[in-house]
Structure 1
Amino acid sequence: MNCSRRRSLHPLIPLLAAFAVLVVLHGWATPLFEAPDEVWHYAYVRWLAEGHGLPSMKDNASGANQEVAQPPLYYAVAALLSAPFPDDDLQTLFWHNPHFGYQAPGTTPDNKNMLIHTPREGFPGRGAVLAVRIARFASLLFGLVTVCAAWGMGYEAFGNQRAALLTAALVGFHPQFVFMSSVVSNDSATAALSTATLWATARFLRRGITPHRAALVGALAGLAALTKTSALLLLPLTGLSLLWQGWRQTQEQPAPPRGMRRYRDTWRAALAFGLTALLVGGGWYLRNLFLYGDPLGMSHHVNTLWGRPAPVSLLALVPEFPLLWRSFWGAYGWGHVWWPDWIYVALTLLTLGALLHGLYRMLRSPRPASAVPSRRSRAIYLLCTFWLMGVFAALLHWMRQVEAPHGRLLFPAIGARDFKVPAALPAVTRSSSSRCSSPSPSWPPARGFWRLLRRQNYSRRR
């Protein structure tokens, strides 16, 4: 029986509905433009909606400040949604709060709003208020895509709905991700398309590579690169995964052709992947190269109030790690509205406990041969591990140049991170049907040192 025929999306629907309700509630509770850079993100959206084309990095005519260097996909979607709604009264919403206490001398930290808000901003509002809320709806849509993609990635890896739903729930109920999905920001778009790319890559790692599957991965990776430049890291990762899978398929053939002909299908798939990614996502970066001599637009971000005069060392970033950790879980407003300290302490202890539990199971829990993860399941686990490491390394590199200890910048890897929780829970990953069972990748594979330790521990107990 084909197990994929038995898969049902019905349990996912209540999860998506709950996520949407949480996002709407957060959007209702968050005053307009009281979210990280929302005022500049929306300026980008309106510039496109008014038909001005892409904003120029040579001036600030759009009012988007450093956000003009961001790739345009999220803003184009938000502009399409909000364009029918006039916002001629937009400037009346920018009533600066002189008592805003955010790193400013002479202010107190008890006033969290950057702007003064009036009852006219009531939900859903009219005029500019309604236009901004419609633009926020684009973030909700991308958030829903992220949850769905996390579900699909969990199913490809574990082969059962319990693990897939747990992966999706960990993403959908992540407090900071819910918040960022309720405001005008491109973070949810990057998370959505990065997670979707990982899902598509996991599919060909599990089911085999074909030119069509490779082209799909290339298209998704290209779209992800049109949301944030950090998503460019998907291209080498998915490209290497494609080559590895093609090589494995060739080796598994009973009588592979001789010479380079044996890799013909792999090269076709690689060509489909590369051309599709270039056609979908390459235009924006070529434009920047020809117009500004900077394909990534990094200089525009560095030359801001948050830019550092010179890159700092990694050691100098250590004092910023607590803020990075807090803002990953929950930091509202412009990053200065926090939970009580004990909540962050509890989350830290819970995370450390989960890591220690995973390490203990990896070293001390021998498994029968039937529970050893398959090669393809291990490949999916490695894919998520390397992506998580790559996103974190890219953030550290960025923090060396810009004061940006923002946990939301790790959201491109939120699906890869939450994928690892079901991996450590055999009761969740074990399929209820032996015909539909899928080996659980619940320990980090391809780590020779750890595998050697496990074999030694097992042999001693025997």
Structure 2
Amino acid sequence: MKRWLAILGALYLLLAAGFNLATPYGEAPDEWAHVDYVKQVAAGRLPHLDLLTRKDRQTGYEAHQPPLYYALCVPVWKAATALGAREAAAAKWVRIISILLGGLGLLAIWGLAGEASGWTDPRVPLLATGFAAFLPMRLAVCAAVTNDPLAELVATLALWVMVTIVRGGVTVRRVLLLGILLGTGLLTKMSLVILFPVAALALLLGSRRREKREAAASRKKRRAPAPRTSEWLTLDGATFARGLAISFGVALAIGGPWLARNYVLYGDPLANRAFTWYFADTRRYEWFREQGVDFFTYLGQLVLPVTFDSFWGAFGHLNRPELFMGALNRDYPPTSWVYPILLMATLAAVAGCVVWYLRARRQATAEGVAVGLVLGLATALVVASFLRFNTVFFQAQGRYLFLALGPISLAMAGGWLQLTPKRWWWYTAAGGGVLMLALALYALFGVVVPGFARA
């Protein structure tokens, strides 16, 4: 297991380094704005959105973000600039922080997939990790200056702890760790606030108390059958309340000052209204509606196709067809020979998940059902938040779904494995990993390198 993880990690680092070298500075989404934030923190300032003048629209629009990722980048930025590196070169050095965070994210996905599947088969977490390691869009994101890799890491670690709570119960150590991760999320990216309701559900399900109860024997018969025992689960309300108070209290102790700062600056702890106001004159869904595009056409022909393409891999600022994989024309989104194949692979995984559910239902345990509820709620909240965002702004970027990449990777791996006999699972896991590696190599050398070379 450790050897295969090391191989996956080494290949990931090589590919991410390749994406770093091949992607010009500023050609990753919002990279200029993220670097501007790093520069301000390096100068000893915390930026904020200027809602009155909006004078920093070109590079200052990430100023509402929490500061943790940027603080991690400052030492590398200062070292690079002290050695004489210009902004573009220094930014490429700072990208190494994102690459390393992405590597830690792979370990978190491995742990989450293993814990969620009960560590019953090593091929499930290995294939899930391989899927994430070689996902082209994730490689591109992890080779950019952006807080997305840290947000994905924190989300996956938090879900791992939640699954551990569901399976092993509520302990002081676990709820303290959960609280630290929830608070770290508040200092990383405000979209991680969705972890709080998921954590509450995990604590609720982890606060169950097992009791053995005997079925009443029939008194009508002279020879009553032997009493039957069954396992019942009841909620331990005190344990739940204590776990909720500790974890949420620790989280607010860590992230609360940032929420208070947002409230003072913007009148909104999450800074959502400030962000919406700051971009009041950018293209929104209303613009499409005014052009005669109804909501379902907007969703079905723009948001969902571009989101699917950019989840797997569409590079740059999503405005150049040649940076979509397998593009055959210059439409938007372009016709492609790659994404239909990936759609079939996705549908196969969905079908496999249905098979997985039907097989597991016969011998489902309370813990297994609870784990499914926690991961399902997390994924549903990420998707719902993404769709809601796109009802305001047209932002069909699949990378926003990476907050749920842990559960998604588990579903893809488990679904593919379920479609083959169990004696073939090593071949399925190896084949899936090799095909994902081939996709990553094609994305790098067949799309990114020539695409940016023509820029």
Normalising to structure 2: TM-score of the pair? 0.76
Where 2:112 maps in the other structure, the secondary structure is: helix
Indicate which of 158, 161, 184 corresponds to 1:200. Answer: 161
111, 136, 144: which one aligns with 2:95: 136
Partner of 2:437: none
Within 2, Cα distance between the matches of 1:155 and 1:137? 27
Match of residue 282, structure 1, among 231, 236, 256: 256
Alignment-derived partner of residue 10 in structure 2: 17
1:62 and 1:55 map into 2 onto residues whose CA distance is 12
Cα–Cα, structure 1 residues 239 and 60, in superposed 2: closer, same or farther, change >3 Å? farther
1:37/1:11 Cα in 2 relative to 1: closer, same or farther (>3 Å)?
Answer: same
CA contact (8 A) 1:395 1:410 kept: yes
1:318 positional shift = 2.7
The one-letter amino acid of 1:269's match is: G
- What corresponds to 1:67 in structure 2? 62
- Residues 29/269 of structure 1: CA separation in 2 closer, same or farther (3 Å cut): same
> 1:261 deviation in Å?
12
Alignment partner for residue 407 of structure 2, among 416, 430, 448? Answer: 416
Which residue does the alignment assign to 2:444?
none
- Find the counterpart in structure 2 of residue 38 from structure 1: 31
Alignment partner for residue 170 of structure 1, among 131, 147, 169?
Answer: 131
What corresponds to 1:342 in structure 2? Answer: 337
CA distance in 1, matches of 2:369, 2:251: 26
Deviation string 1:183-224 (CA, Å, 9 cap, x unpaired) is 111111111111111111111112221122011112112212
Q: Which residue of 2 aligns with 1:374?
A: 365
Task: Report which stretch shifted further, 151-160 or 415-424.
Answer: 415-424
Q: Which deviations, in whole Å up to 9, do the C-alpha atoms of 1:275-303 show, x marking residues without a partner?
A: 11111222212111012212222234323
Structure 1 position 400, deviation (Å): 0.9
CA deviation profile, 1:395-424 (whole Å, cap 9, x unmatched): 011111112111111110111111113333
Deviation at 1:62? 9.9
Give the 3 Å change call, closer, same or farther, for CA 153–240 of structure 1 in structure 2.
Answer: same
Report if the CA contact (8 A) 2:175-2:247 is conserved: yes
Query: Do the aligned partners of 2:179 and 2:251 also contact (CA within 8 Å) in 1?
Result: yes
One-letter amino acid matched to 1:181: C
Partner of 1:218 in structure 2? 179
What residue identity is the alignment partner of 1:143? G
**Matching residue's letter, 2:299:** L
For residues 342 and 427 of structure 1, do their structure 2 counterparts lie closer, same or farther at Cα, with a shift above 3 Å needed? closer
Paired letter, 1:22: L
Match of 2:230 in 1: none
Q: Provide the C-alpha distance between the structure 1 equivalents of 2:6 and 2:360, rounded to a whole number of angstroms.
A: 37
Are the counterparts in 2 of residues 40 and 67 from structure 1 also a CA contact under 8 Å?
Answer: yes
CA positional deviation for 1:88: 11
List runs of 5+ in structure 1 lacking aligned partners.
1-7, 90-125, 255-259, 432-462
For the structure 1 residues 428 and 67, does the alpha-carbon distance in structure 2 shift closer, same or farther, using more than 3 Å as the test?
A: farther
Asked if structure 1 preserves the Cα contact closer than 8 Å seen for 2:350 and 2:412, the reply is no
Q: What is the rounded CA distance, in whole Å, between the counterparts of 1:366 and 1:53 in structure 2? A: 50
| CA distance, structure 2, for counterparts of residue 392 and residue 263 of structure 1 | 31
Distance 2:360 2:95 in 1: 49
Alignment correspondent of 1:434: none
Equivalence map 1:257-268=2 (5 Å): 263-268=237-242
Letter in 1 for 2:343: T
2:108 alignment counterpart? 149
Q: 1:129 to 1:366 in 2, by over 3 A?
A: closer
For the 8 Å contact 1:163–1:428, the answer to whether it is kept is no
SS of the equivalent of 1:11 reads helix
2:144 to 183, 196, 206: 183
- Distance change in 2, residues 1:236/1:33 (3 Å): same
2:73 counterpart letter in structure 1: A
- SS in structure 2 at match of 1:69: coil
Q: Distance in 1 between matches of 2:47 and 2:60?
A: 13
SS in 1 for 2:338: helix
1:64, CA displacement in angstroms? 3.4
Show the counterpart of 1:447: none
Give the TM-score normalised by the residue count of structure 1. Answer: 0.75
Amino acid at match of 1:177: R
Shift in CA distance, 253/39, structure 1 to aligned 2, threshold 3 Å: farther
- 1:67 Cα deviation from its structure 2 partner: 0.6
On the 8 A contact 1:205/1:376 being kept in 2, the answer is yes
Check conservation: 2:168, 2:206, Cα contact below 8 A: no
Name the CA distance, whole Å, in 2 between partners of 1:183 and 1:32: 8
Percent identity of the aligned residues?
Answer: 29
Correspondence 1:317 to 2:299: yes
| Root mean square deviation, CA, Å | 3.0
Is the Cα–Cα contact under 8 Å of residues 115 and 164 in structure 2 kept in the other structure? yes
Judging changes above 3 Å, is the alpha-carbon distance between structure 1 residues 360 and 317 closer, same or farther for their aligned structure 2 residues? same
The 3-state SS of whatever aligns with 2:81 is: coil
Aligned ranges 1:49-68 → 2 under 5 Å: 49-58=42-51, 60=55, 64-68=59-63
d(CA) in 2 for partners of 1:331, 1:366: 36
Q: What do the CA deviations read for 1:114-148 (whole angstroms, capped 9, x no partner)?
A: xxxxxxxxxxxx33333212211111122112111
Aligned length: 379
Indicate the residue corresponding to 2:267 in structure 1: 293
Q: Output the CA distance in 1 between the equivalents of 2:420 and 2:374.
A: 21
| Distance verdict in 2 for CA 1:62–1:222, change over 3 Å | farther
| CA-to-aligned-CA distance 1:372-402 (integer Å, 9 cap, x gap) | 2322122222221111111010001111111
Contact 1:301 1:307 in 2 (8 A): no
Say if 2:217 is the partner of 1:234. Answer: no
Determine if contact 2:352/2:419 at 8 Å carries over to the other structure.
Answer: no
Unaligned runs of 5+ in 2: 214-233, 327-335, 424-455
Superposed CA offset, 1:253-293 (max 9, x none): 89xxxxx9953333222211111111122221211101221
